[in-house]
C-alpha cells in the first residue's frame, strides 16, 4: 500500500518485521500501547511469511549483523576513553549487554580474535567475573572467558 492510496479515516497498519529481528520479545507488546492497533492478523499467507522470517538461522544472522554494528560503533566512540564507567555505560555497549545470551557466542568470537574491554559485557550478562584475581589483564580475562565459553558449549 502506498501513501497516496490511504483514504481519509483509514488507520495504516504496519508490520515492522525488520525492526523485530534481534529485539527482545517483550518489546513487541509494548508498541501496542502507542500504536492504538487493535487488529489481529488472521491471513495465513502472512503467518507463513512471519514463520519464514523467524527462521532461527536468519535470526542468528540478523543478531550477528546487529552485534557487529554495535561493536564497531562502541569501539569507535570509546577508543580514547580511559574511564571504565564511561566505556561500559556507552549506549552501544549497553545494547550488546541487552542482547543477553544471543550476544555471548559473538562476544566470545570477538574477544578470541582480538582481546578487548568487550569482555566486561560477559561479566554483566553472567552477573559474575571469570576470576577473583585483582591484577588480571584484559588479555588474560579474555582467554579465561573464551576457555570457559568453549567448555560450556557457547562457542
Q: What is the pLDDT along the chain (155 residues), one digit of tens a residue?
A: 444 544 444 444 444 444 444 444 444 444 445 555 555 555 556 556 666 655 555 556 678 999 999 999 999 999 998 888 999 999 999 999 999 999 999 999 999 999 999 999 999 999 988 988 888 899 999 999 999 999 999 99
Calculate the alpha carbon distances from 120 to 25, 29, 142 in Å: 25, 31, 9
User: From CA 38, how far away is CA 40, in angstroms rounded?
Assistant: 7
The per-residue pLDDT for 2 is 47
- Predicted local confidence at residue 52, as pLDDT: 61
pLDDT at residue 57 in the model: 58
With CA atoms as reference, report the closest residue to 102 among 9, 8, 23. 23
Q: How far apart are CA 51 and CA 113, in angstroms?
A: 34
Please give the model's pTM, rounded to 2 decimal places. 0.61
Do the beta carbons of residue 96 and residue 107 sit within 8 Å?
A: yes
Burial 39-78 (b: 16+ CB within 10 A, else e): eeeeeeeeeeeeeeeeeeeeeeebbbebbeebbebbbeeb
For 72, the enclosing helix (H) or strand (E) is helix 56-78
Amino acid at each position: 500500500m502506498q501513501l497516496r492510496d490511504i483514504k481519509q479515516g483509514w488507520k495504516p497498519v504496519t508490520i515492522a518485521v525488520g525492526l523485530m529481528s534481534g529485539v527482545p520479545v517483550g518489546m513487541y507488546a509494548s508498541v501496542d500501547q502507542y500504536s492504538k492497533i487493535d487488529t489481529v492478523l488472521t491471513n495465513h499467507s502472512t503467518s507463513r511469511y512471519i514463520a519464514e522470517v523467524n527462521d532461527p538461522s536468519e535470526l542468528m544472522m540478523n543478531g550477528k549483523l546487529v552485534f557487529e554494528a554495535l561493536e564497531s560503533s562502541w569501539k569507535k566512540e570509546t577508543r580514547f576513553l580511559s574511564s571504565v564507567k564511561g566505556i561500559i555505560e556507552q549506549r552501544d555497549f549497553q545494547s550488546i549487554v541487552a542482547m543477553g545470551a544471543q550476544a555471548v557466542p559473538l562476544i566470545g568470537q570477538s574477544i578470541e580474535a582480538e582481546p578487548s574491554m568487550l569482555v566486561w559485557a560477559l561479566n554483566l550478562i553472567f552477573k559474575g567475573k571469570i576470576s577473583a584475581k585483582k591484577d588480571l589483564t584484559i588479555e588474560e580475562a579474555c582467554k579465561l572467558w573464551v576457555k570457559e565459553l568453549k567448555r560450556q558449549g557457547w562457542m
